[in-house]
């Protein structure tokens, strides 16, 4: 079977245009070497016809069963990536192809690279398919909800190895560094032999485009600086975002905030996230418009959105950049005790912005989400962070993706929600204690339900309402009057 699997894998790589038919002998020999095979039949009948990730799983099972590798997570990941590395071109060739496609159109270029990243198994499509995804109505529009099941569980041997082999290795410096391209991986560090990135200069600096290996939305991409440096939100960041939309007008691009709690999970490497997807926040309507007195060409509004968002629109990039920077600088030093907002504790800053850029109707559009990361005795995880009463659904940081209206919820919810559904159906259940009050509230509102499909609809609706509450907690202005006080300060 291994010969059929290898032949099938190579045939699929040809069909997906990862390699040319003329390369098949060379590629086969490279894969044979990785599997410790010294010969290959002259003729293979009934080659495996399946998707690339499925064929890879069969080959890895052979490798484990024949003592090529141990049945350990990292060993399997490293071999999988190395096999696929035999089937994709070098970075220079991929970049050259990307920019030839770009001459046709920016979308043709990203279509090519996205397909390559999926077909090369860098984007883990089989694992992503495990995620639970649905849309839920809310007072702010239709939200995206994802229960994240794509990250595989580590086996006990993997955990033991990581504990015993914990080495002080600082290469690559982090998982976003350019040095990850083609890196084989090691115990406790991801395999990236099949990883490729595209050179995308921004503002005279070397930046790179790659896709997330666990995409949460269509063409979920990461744009990263070549230099390993901390995240920083400033005028230069705004300009890079808008410059990127010039180069890829079909993509939005945004940045996590640059402070803990309000920021994302990786603040140590300057990067943005982009993609070809319309989030709920992009569809949000104006709560009210206002005038920026020093920037008469700017159309400014506050969005009807649970977080505190200023939307700026203008056909002139420089005017938009100046206006955005003025709002940022004003916000960074702004305090309002009535709204529980303080810009500093001693020398520690609390105010920053999560920015999102796009081109809409031939206009530049920049959304500025005002963030604050201050904590208190009542809210030790953050005053403008999900509060304790919603932690049973979501207590992690509200990063860019959540800000835009996509909830990435923990895997534990799959089984926990199943128990709540049994409870609502009147069956024996074991509802986790921290969900019990919520489950009781749902049952009180809807009563005992006999239809399991109706229970699914109710649970999805209630999760959407909870996620809206999560985002409301992260909003810095709970009332229009407080927002207007800030705008008045902007116009001083």
Mean pLDDT score, 448-469: 94
Contact predicate 405/143, CB 8 Å: yes
Tens digit of pLDDT for each residue in 21-80?
Answer: 999 999 999 999 999 999 999 999 899 999 999 999 999 999 999 999 999 999 999 999
Structural domain containing residue 22: 2-90
Question: Does residue 305 carry a pLDDT above 90?
Answer: yes
Digit-coded pLDDT (tens) for 233-278: 999 999 999 999 999 999 999 999 999 999 777 899 999 999 999 9
pLDDT at 127: 95
pTM: 0.95
Kindly report each contact of residues 480-485 with a partner whose C-beta sits within 8 Å and lies 24 or more positions away, as own/partner: 480/287, 480/288, 480/302, 482/336, 482/338, 482/339, 483/302, 483/308, 484/290, 485/336, 485/338, 485/339
What's the pLDDT at 116? 98
Q: What is the pLDDT of residue 429?
A: 84
Please say if the pLDDT value at position 168 is more than 90: no
pLDDT band at residue 110 under the 50/70/90 scheme: very high
pLDDT, residue 156, reads 79
Phi and psi for 292 in degrees, rounded to 5?
Answer: -95, 105
Q: Are 456 and 421 in contact (CB under 8 A)?
A: yes
Residue 74 within any structural domain of the chain: yes
Question: Is residue 482 in some structural domain?
Answer: no
pLDDT at site 120 = 97
Angle at 219 between CA 251 and CA 182, to 5 degrees: 115
Is residue 15, in this structure, part of any structural domain at all? Answer: yes
Helix (H/G/I), strand (E/B), else coil: 201 = coil
Tell me the pLDDT band of 132, cut-offs 50, 70 and 90.
Answer: very high
Q: Of all residues in the chain, what percent carry a pLDDT higher than 70? A: 100
Predicted confidence at residue 135, as pLDDT, reads 97
Q: How far is CA 39 from CA 9, 27, 31, 207, in A?
A: 17, 14, 11, 44
Q: Is the pLDDT of residue 447 over 80?
A: yes
Quick one: pLDDT at residue 155?
76
Q: First vs last Cα of the chain: how many Å apart?
A: 75
Q: What is the number of domains present in the chain?
A: 1
- Give the pLDDT confidence score for residue 469 in this predicted structure: 97
pLDDT of residue 428: 82
412: Cβ contacts below 8 Å, ≥ 6 apart: none
Report yes or no on 275 lying in a domain.
no
Residue 14 inside a domain? The answer is yes
Q: How many CA atoms lie within 13 A of 205 on its CB side?
A: 20
Assess if residue 197 is contained within a domain.
no
Q: What local confidence, expressed as pLDDT, does residue 38 receive?
A: 95
Q: What is the pLDDT of residue 13?
A: 97
pLDDT for residue 152? 78
The secondary structure element, H or E, covering residue 224 is strand 221-225
Instruction: Name the phi and psi angles at 250, rounded to 5.
Output: -85, -5
Q: What angle do CA 342, 348, 354 make, to 5 degrees?
A: 70
* pLDDT value for 144: 98
The answer on pLDDT for 165 being more than 90 is no
Give every CB contact of residue 49 below 8 A, 6+ residues apart in sequence.
8
Q: What is the pLDDT of residue 232?
A: 97
Residue 198: inside a domain: no
- Mean pLDDT across the stretch 441-459? 93
* Alpha carbons 460 and 144: distance in angstroms, whole number: 10
Within-domain flag for 66: yes
What are 420-429's pLDDT values in tens digits? 999 999 998 8
Identify the band that residue 212 occupies on the pLDDT scale cut at 50, 70 and 90: very high
| Average pLDDT over all residues of the chain | 95
């Amino acid at each position: 079977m291994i010969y059929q699997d290898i032949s099938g894998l190579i045939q699929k790589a040809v069909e997906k245009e990862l390699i040319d038919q003329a390369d098949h002998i060379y590629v086969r020999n490279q894969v044979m070497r990785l599997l410790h095979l010294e010969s290959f039949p002259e003729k293979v009948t009934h080659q495996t016809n399946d998707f690339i990730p499925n064929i890879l799983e069969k080959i890895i099972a052979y490798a484990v069963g024949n003592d090529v590798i141990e049945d350990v997570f990292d060993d399997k990941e490293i071999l999988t990536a190395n096999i696929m590395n035999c089937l994709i071109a070098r970075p220079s060739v991929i970049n050259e192809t990307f920019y030839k496609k770009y001459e046709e159109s920016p979308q043709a270029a990203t279509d090519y690279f996205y397909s390559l990243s999926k077909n090369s198994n860098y984007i883990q499509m089989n694992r992503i398919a495990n995620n639970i995804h649905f849309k839920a109505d809310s007072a702010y529009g239709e939200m995206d909800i994802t229960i994240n099941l794509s990250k595989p569980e580590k086996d006990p041997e993997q955990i033991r190895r990581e504990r015993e082999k914990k080495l002080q290795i600082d290469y690559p410096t982090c998982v976003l560094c350019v040095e990850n391209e083609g890196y084989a991986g090691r115990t406790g560090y991801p395999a990236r032999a099949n990883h490729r990135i595209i050179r995308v200069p921004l503002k005279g600096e070397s930046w790179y485009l790659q896709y997330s290996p666990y995409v949460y939305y269509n063409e979920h991409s990461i744009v990263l600086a070549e230099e390993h440096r901390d995240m920083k939100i400033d005028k230069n960041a705004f300009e890079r975002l808008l410059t990127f939309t010039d180069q890829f007008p079909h993509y939005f691009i945004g940045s996590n905030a640059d402070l803990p709690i309000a920021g994302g999970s990786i603040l140590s490497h300057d990067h943005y996230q982009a993609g070809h997807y319309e989030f709920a926040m992009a569809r949000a309507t104006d709560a009210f418009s206002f005038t920026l007195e020093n920037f008469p060409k700017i159309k400014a509004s506050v969005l009807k959105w649970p977080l505190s968002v200023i939307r700026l629109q203008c056909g002139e990039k420089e005017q938009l950049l100046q206006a955005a920077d003025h709002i940022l600088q004003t916000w960074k030093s702004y305090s309002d005790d009535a709204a529980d907002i303080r810009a500093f504790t001693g020398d520690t800053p609390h105010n920053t912005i999560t920015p999102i850029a796009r081109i809409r109707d031939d206009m530049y559009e920049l959304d500025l989400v005002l963030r604050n990361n201050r904590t208190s005795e009542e809210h030790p995880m953050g005053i403008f962070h999900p509060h304790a009463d919603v932690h049973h659904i979501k207590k992690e940081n509200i990063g860019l993706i959540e800000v835009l209206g996509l909830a990435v919820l923990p895997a534990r919810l799959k089984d926990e929600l199943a128990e709540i559904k049994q409870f609502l159906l009147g069956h024996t259940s074991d509802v986790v204690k921290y969900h019990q009050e919520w489950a009781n509230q749902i049952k009180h509102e809807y009563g005992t339900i006999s239809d399991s499909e109706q229970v699914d609809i109710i649970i999805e609706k209630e999760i959407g309402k909870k996620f809206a509450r999560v985002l409301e907690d992260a909003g810095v202005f709970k009332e229009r009057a407080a927002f207007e006080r800030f705008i008045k300060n902007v116009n001083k």
